[in-house]
Homo-oligomer: A and B are copies of this chain.
Amino acid sequence: ARSYNITLLPGDGIGPEVVAVAKDVLSFAGALEGVELRFQEKLVGGSALDATGVPLPDETLDEAKGSDAVLLGAIGGYKWDTNEKHLKPETGLLQLRAGLGVFANLRPAAVLPQLVDASTLKKEVAEGVDIMVVRELTGGIYFGKPRGFGTNDKGDDIGFNTEVYSASEIDRIARVAFEVARKRRGKLCSVDKANVLEASMLWRKKVTALASEFPDIELSHMYVDNAAMQLVRNPKQFDTIVTNNIFGDILSDEASMITGSIGMLPSASVGESGPGLFEPIHGSAPDIAGQDKANPLATILSAAMLLRYGLGEENAARRIEAAVTETLNHGFRTGDIYSPGTTLVGCKRMGEEVLKTV
């Protein structure tokens, strides 16, 4: 039997609940396809801070690097919000992404027919939306140097960051995006602010240059402010979007909210080689943590992405996705996606229902 080591990073807030449920589903779907999965659980984020004083202990990064794939819950919470930068849960997540070299973050935002009413957009606008945002994840203003605090020549305090991209960083993320578009509907929209920023001008130049290697893909460019509008105006115009780290952060969240069900949305972060990082796009939701109210489907679908993109186990991935669809068809809903006429269930019960249909 094929066997893999999976690092589980439950993290903070609702993270542990949703990861526990997703782990069972992952395990079972694997077993049914003859795949053995071994799990190691480690600390990251606020819970790591509390236990060890740092948001990403070496032990966690080492374990993650040595494994075949990493499944993360969520990190952060009010408790640590005013911490200094190196003691923020978010810093642990950024260190993990950098440490694993997972430069390509794939964030699907699709409106499921069963949940079209959950969108705040009109039905005819939301229906059929199926977008993949490919976000650059280990470069740009998140990691650029110099950064920090100082004083300017007037003696005034300043805070500063550097948005920087190199040709090869752009090239490798664009390549991933073209490949992704090829497996989808063949349309790629590159989003930048090339009318103002030099970093974006280089971005546009490199993406444009690469297009000749992908003659079957229809490439377009859009300014980020316009993209933020077009996602609201007519989200169906988009297939695959590729953009930098900060614009991707903003636009992928906007796109996810267009679906109306961010408790449903998974993500995959992959690098050149080495283990990928798989996580729901929702946050740690401290206000409902520990109450068995969280929607585990985003993490369960992240587990499916882990099987597909992380391990190449397409059959097991499909099993999970089909089980989620069937569970929704059976009418089970957590609070975030509940509507009259469906059956309200908690996190655990939702997991059990998915398990039944895997």
Evaluate contact between B159 and A198: CB separation under 8 angstroms: yes
A136 to chain B: closest CB distance in Å? 13
Known: A158-B202, A198-B147, A202-B149. A251 touches B228 (CB 8 A): yes
Minimal beta-carbon separation of A264 from chain B (angstroms) = 14
Q: Mark A231-257, 1 if CB is under 8 A from B, else 0.
A: 111100000000000110111111011
Chain B residues contacting A165 (CB-CB under 8 Å) are: 158-160
B253 and A160 form a contact (CB under 8 A): no
Q: A162 to chain B: which residues have CB within 8 Å?
A: 160-163
Cα–Cα distance between A336 and B121 once the two chains are bound (Å):
19
CB A250 to nearest CB in B, in angstroms, measures 5
Please tell me if the beta carbons of B167 and A157 are within 8 angstroms of each other in the complex: yes
* Inter-chain contact A246/B166, CB cutoff 8 Å: no
- Complex copy number for this chain: 2
A215 is an interface residue with CB less than 8 A from chain B = no
A224 is an interface residue with CB less than 8 A from chain B: yes
CB proximity to B under 8 Å, residues A179-224: 193, 195-203, 224
Is residue A289 contacting chain B, with contact meaning CB distance below 8 A? no
Contacts of A147 in B (CB 8 A): 197-198
For A200, list chain B residues within 8 Å (CB).
159
Most buried by B among A149, A164, A200, A225: A225
A36 to B275, CA, bound (A): 70
Given pairs A76-B195, A141-B141, 20 additional interface contacts (CB within 8 A): A81-B195, A90-B195, A94-B196, A121-B121, A142-B196, A147-B198, A156-B168, A157-B166, A158-B167, A158-B202, A159-B164, A159-B201, A160-B162, A160-B165, A161-B198, A163-B163, A228-B253, A229-B257, A232-B257, A232-B258
Q: List 14 A-B contacts (CB under 8 A).
A: A88-B195, A121-B121, A144-B160, A154-B168, A157-B202, A159-B164, A160-B162, A161-B162, A161-B163, A225-B250, A225-B253, A228-B251, A228-B254, A229-B262
